[in-house]
Amino acid sequence: MDSQDPVTVTEPRPGVLLITLNRPHVRNAIDQSLARVMDAALTRLETDSSLAVGILTGAGGHFCSGMDLKAFPTDGVPVVADRGLAGVTRARLRKPLIAAVEGAAVAGGFELALACDLITAADTAFFALPEVTRGLVAAEGGAIRLPGRLPYHVAMEMLLTAAPLPAPDAARYGLVNQLTGEGDAVHAALALADRVQAHSRDAVLVTKQIVQDTRGLDDHTAYTVQDPLSTPVFTAAAATEGAYAFTEKRPPAWQR
């Protein structure tokens, strides 16, 4: 562990940055101070060439209870620049980010998880968007992302009635990549991160960029966006090495 802050703990592993929200007394609710520090950690993930994957989790048995409502009346929504809640929900991170969810992932906390690329979750975890009960709306991606990731009527029940979604149900719908026992979500996320970073860095980054840049486009338009991104990958040395490694039945150079 190379840095510790009253509101976050960052821990670099080989190729991975583990970021832990550290306000367990309020289920890691996000105030402006946490938003700033989390944004700094994510900036480190993006700019440090030794890091390939980020993991976001919470201390004290919970992922995140969203925006700190005690601070909200005076401070408003905790945002960083134009990047949304805690600098994550509207960010366009190049590197993959995994949410490791224990306990509650609700409101802005669920929206943080939805903004990640992969999710591991304990079988005792749960997700919810209770903003309507507080006179608010799920404005940091919940109402945008959720209807495309769950069956429409399930998503609308969550958004309009604040019904919680237990992690086993979320896994059944494909919203969670890996379901674990209680306390094991981070371990599963680390294993998933190792699987991601076992591959060519450029291939991973460009694949994520293509997904981000083409979502919602018709096929014809999507190809015009994809091709300038994908063509350099096919002509790069890594692609040649990957082809040789396959034909020679050996690991590619980046795995050695």
Token duo for residue 168: 């086993």
140 in active site: no
Which residues does 166 contact at the CB level (< 8 Å), separation at least 6? 125, 126
Taking alpha carbons only, the member of 174, 177, 142, 172 closest to residue 156 is 142
Active-site entry in 11, 46, 102, 111: 111
Active-site entry in 131, 140, 241, 248: 131
Where residue 27 falls (left for φ over 0; alpha for ψ -120 to 50; beta otherwise) is left
Residue 248 backbone phi and psi in degrees, to 5: -95, 5
- Cβ atoms of 143 and 159 within 8 Å: the answer is yes
131 in active site: yes
**Rounded to whole angstroms, how far apart are CA atoms 226 and 171?**
30
Which residues are marked as active site? 111, 131
